[in-house]
Amino acid sequence: MTITTDHARAGAAGSLWLRLAAIALPLPLIAPAFWNRYPLLQWDTGGYLARWYEGYLVPSRSTVFGIYLHYGESSGFWINLAVQSLATLWLLQLTLRVLSMMQTFRFVVISLLLILSTALPWLASMLLTDIFAGLSVLSLFLLVVGGPRTSALEKISLFVFTAFAAATHSATLGVLLGLCIAGWMARPLLGPRLPIAGLAQASLTILAGGLMLVSANHALSGKWTWTPGGTGVAFGRMMQDGIVARYLNDHCPREKLKLCPYRDQLPASADEFLWGKSMFNALGRFEGMNDEMGTIVVGSLADYPAWQAGAALQALGQQLLHVATGEGTNGWIPHTRGIIERYVPSQAAPMRAARQQNWGLDFDTINWLHVPVALASMLALVALLAHALANRRLDDLTLLAATITLALLGNAFICGVISGPHDRYGARMVWVATFTVLMALARRLGEDSKAR
Short-list 37, 19, 43, CA closest to 76: 37
Compute the distance between CA of residue 159 and CA of residue 140 in angstroms, rounded to an integer. Answer: 8
Q: Which residues contact 175 (CB under 8 A, 6 or more apart)?
A: 133, 136, 137, 407, 410, 411, 414, 429
> Residue ranges per domain, the chain?
230-303, 312-326+363-452
Q: Over the chain (452 residues), what is each successive 10-residue block's mean pLDDT?
A: 50 65 89 97 95 91 97 97 97 96 94 97 98 98 95 97 97 97 95 94 97 96 87 85 91 88 86 83 86 90 92 93 93 91 96 93 94 98 91 89 97 90 96 97 77 56
Q: What pLDDT is recorded for position 331?
A: 77
Q: How far is CA 202 from CA 31, 43, 234, 402, 428, in A?
A: 32, 32, 28, 16, 21
Q: What pLDDT is recorded for position 222?
A: 94
Q: What pLDDT is recorded for position 141?
A: 98
Check if the beta carbon of residue 66 is closer than 8 Å to that of residue 127: no
Q: How far is CA 315 from CA 171, 305, 310, 406, 413, in A?
A: 15, 15, 9, 17, 8
Check if the beta carbon of residue 44 is closer than 8 Å to that of residue 61: yes
Check if the beta carbon of residue 120 is closer than 8 Å to that of residue 432: no
Compute the distance between CA of residue 258 and CA of residue 278 in angstroms, rounded to an integer. Answer: 13
Q: Which residues contact 77 (CB under 8 A, 6 or more apart)?
A: 39, 69, 127, 347
Check if the beta carbon of residue 235 is closer than 8 Å to that of residue 293: yes
Q: For the whole model, what pTM was predicted?
A: 0.92
Compute the distance between CA of residue 171 and CA of residue 65 in angstroms, rounded to an integer. Answer: 14
Q: What pLDDT is recorded for position 430?
A: 98
Short-list 36, 184, 203, 45, CA closest to 121: 36
Q: How far is CA 29 from CA 122, 203, 329, in A?
A: 8, 30, 18
Separation of first and last alpha carbons in the chain: 28
